[in-house]
Amino acid sequence: MNAALSAASAGFGGSGREGAVVPGLVISLIGGAAFTFGGREIPLRNRKACAMLAYLALTERGEEQRERLAGLFWSESPEANARATLRQAVHETREVMLAAGCNALVTGRSTIGLERGSFTVDVETMLHALAAGEVAEPLLRQSQVAEALLAGFEDLDPAFHGWLSARRQTLHDRILRDLERGYRDLVLPRRQRRRLAEAAVLLDPTHEEACRVVMRCAAEDGEIGAALHAYDELYRLLGDEYDMEPSAPTLELIAEIKQGKFDGVASRETSQQSLRDEVAQILIEQRRSPAPTPPPAAAPAKPVLVIAPFDIHGVAPDRVHLVEGFRFELIACLVRFREWYVTDSVAGTANAPAGAPVSMCYRLSTTTYQAGSAISAVMVLQDQTSGVVVWSERFEVSLDSWAVTQQRVVRRLASTLSVELSTERLTRLAAVPEATLEAHDVWLRAQLLILRFTPENWNGAAQMLAKAIDQAPTFSPLYSSLVQMNNTFHIAHPGMFRAAHKEERTLGLAQQAVRLDPRDSRAELSLGWALAMNKRYAQAETHMEIACELNPYDAWTLSAAGMFHSFVGNRSRAQSLSAQAMELTLAPNLAQWTYLATTRYLCGDDEGLLVASAHAHALTPEPYPWRTQALSNLFAWRAAALCNLGRKEEAREEARRFLELTRANWFGSSPPTDAMIGRWLLHIYPISDPEVWRRLHDGIVAAGIPDGGMTHHGW
């Protein structure tokens, strides 16, 4: 497979695999789902069968586990019924395909797939063309083409809806990145760059940079009317849909066009165009000719945003949650953009991750105060090196203007840092789910309690969320927060054991959260953990992957998913996600170091665990019980790793510290004997792979922590 095709195919499967023959099965997924073989349509009537074939075609390997397919298309059915229905659907699909002369469907005891090299997919063909700098016709005739992927199949199943939403977003971002790379390449002929920019505008009509390329290229071609039309469409859209005006660079360009700056450019270039085209063609051919693989390009330098804790002055105690909630949600929004690093700590910003250099470091400081009933905030962006203030603004923190204020802050930050963000992208990534002001307020209060819980207010937070769900049953974050609490209750409260009936109820809440907002990565992550707690690991893996696709630049999401993959024995995926998370983080927090330590141990890296846990223990723990217990549990993991490394005395000392700290923080009704503590520890993690669980078990037992009779899946 050549490099361009390999890059185009990443994450989307399809044809072009190594050793592939000329395929006979043609799969078209833009605008629906159609399958032809030898020029004749395959008459598949079962919509879930069509979606299943489409899903297989878009996977990297072209195959999937039966359990995951059953959970993806029949997520609301009992597992046995789902698998039986899947078998029937596969049987019927195979019969129809064989009748058409197509034997591409391959089945095994545990997997279902499409034969390698036996099919082509229109999505992959489109990406392949983009990798070569060409624009496939669908990109020039179909607006927002990514949203047309498997159009009409959104209602098949809530789980499939979540996967499809994430895949559409990934496809949109992938196409846009390739289009941006193309029209920014000044070596390409102007007409080709214009087509790439026109496709970008059709994909994202608010993309001002692409619109400016269209305007400039049209003006340089002497098509002033086309340039003005492109501007007018952008101006109308921004005004009608977003109540905004184009940015300053766009306004400057349209002024230059109207003033006649580009008049005569086309005629002046005529004599030179032939030579320029020849040079461009030579350069293009050189790119296409075989050449030694160059070393990987260094990652571009990116600025760092340090979001300092807000200074709070005179804000009523019952409204502090609004201020702190705004900061937490602002950070959650900013980490979704790949254009910068985000950290909440100044410490560590001097040490950029390997291969990811820092260009500048900025500190965002915010002071809040209450005057009457209004909470005002003054935000200042300061160059960390020189101390120069590069931007400041005053705004009001209120629920009714939450989303608008958050988007305004992100837009101003992007403008100050010279980052291009389209209005559509900003709105999508900085959107706040619709809810009543009361429901949003309760959610923020509960989030603060979850972060700072004490035993006496944990139940209060849960009751608060449950009551809010009764009052606002369509607000997805309420469900996600309650699921998060339920998934971690037994971990944060030593001595409290998991209960099957509670885990089943929690799963229902998690499914509802995703059903209400399938594009919320937090909902998908919570559902993944809820499924894992219910021992439905294959389905959990699907939702972990969806969460990563929805929020690929959030280190927290990647760290959590990486730890999950270590639980189920997917060592390479666990290591990959953990590495990505660390590359995105300049100053990892306690949770990230804890997740990394756990992942490293279960992947067989004892030394790596010791390094990660040392970083975790070096952080000053905030006085919250769950943070204290997180550090306590790490002593048990360290004991196991040290024992594996033959450092027996150190291992026993770490085990003793774990037992003492856990005993002092015990919530269970049973006495906190060493055996009971060990039994509790070995049951709290949803580890599916017996060998992975055995590694933890054998390590802590050898270090002196008894297992209390606990066995794998003995909970």
pTM, full prediction: 0.86
Mean pLDDT of 434-450: 82
Residue 42's contacts (CB-CB under 8 Å, 6 or more residues apart) are: 35, 36, 96, 97, 100, 102
Place 437 in a pLDDT band, splitting at 50, 70 and 90: confident
Distance CA 662, CA 594 (A): 17
Express each pLDDT in 97-108 by its tens digit. 999 999 999 999
- Per-residue pLDDT, averaged over 163-179, amounts to 95
The separation between the first and the last C-alpha atoms of the chain, rounded to the nearest angstrom, is 47
**pLDDT > 60? residue 165:** yes
Higher pLDDT, 29 or 425: 29
Q: At what angle do helices 208-220 and 265-288 cross, to 10 degrees?
A: 120
The answer to whether 173 and 180 have CB atoms below 8 angstroms apart is: no
For the residues 431-439, what does the mean pLDDT come to?
Answer: 76
* Range with lowest mean pLDDT among 380-389, 400-409, 689-698: 400-409
At residue 510, the pLDDT reads: 97
Helix (H, G, I), strand (E, B) or coil at 380: strand
* Contact assessment for residue 474 and residue 508, using Cβ atoms and an 8 Å cutoff: no
The strand order across the sheet containing 63-65 reads: 63-65, 111-114, 105-107
DSSP 8-state assignment for residue 178: H
Looking at CATH, the fold of the domain delimited by 433-548 is given as 1.25.40
Tens digits of residue pLDDT in 594-634: 999 999 999 999 999 999 999 988 875 554 444 566 678 99
d(CA 203, CA 173): 10
Question: What is the overall mean pLDDT for the chain?
Answer: 88
Token digits of residue 222:
């002497």
Least confident of 346-350, 506-510, 557-561: 346-350
For residue 648, the number of C-alpha atoms closer than 13 Å in the C-beta half-sphere is: 1
pLDDT at 353 over 60: no
**Number of residues that make up the chain:** 715
3-state secondary structure of 112: strand
Domain limits of the chain? 3-170, 205-288, 302-429, 433-548, 553-715
Same fold, 433-548 and 553-715: yes
For residue 366, the 8-state DSSP code is E
Mean pLDDT of 111-124: 94
Does residue 451 have a pLDDT over 60?
yes
How many CB atoms are located within 10 Å of the residue 470 CB?
8
Residue with tokens 């073989």: 37
Task: Give CATH for domain 3-170.
Answer: 1.10.10.10
* pLDDT, tens digit (0-9, with 9 covering 90-100), for 464-475: 899 899 989 999
Output the CA–CA distances (angstroms, integers) from residue 472 to 195, 432, 442, in the order listed. 46, 15, 10
Which tokens in the block code for residue 561?
């998913």
Per DSSP, 294 falls in state P
Residue 673 CA from chain centroid, whole number: 42
Confidence of residue 346 (pLDDT cuts 50, 70, 90): low
Tell me: the pLDDT tens digits for 260-305?
Answer: 998 766 555 544 555 455 555 555 555 555 545 555 555 678 889 9
The CATH classification number of 302-429 equals 3.40.50.11830
**Which two tokens mark 375?**
């909470």
> Which two tokens mark 305?
């945003």
Summarised one tens digit per residue, pLDDT across range 199-233 is: 999 999 999 999 999 999 999 999 999 999 999 99
| Architecture (CATH level 2) of domain 553-715 | Alpha Horseshoe (1.25)
Report pLDDT for 20: 41
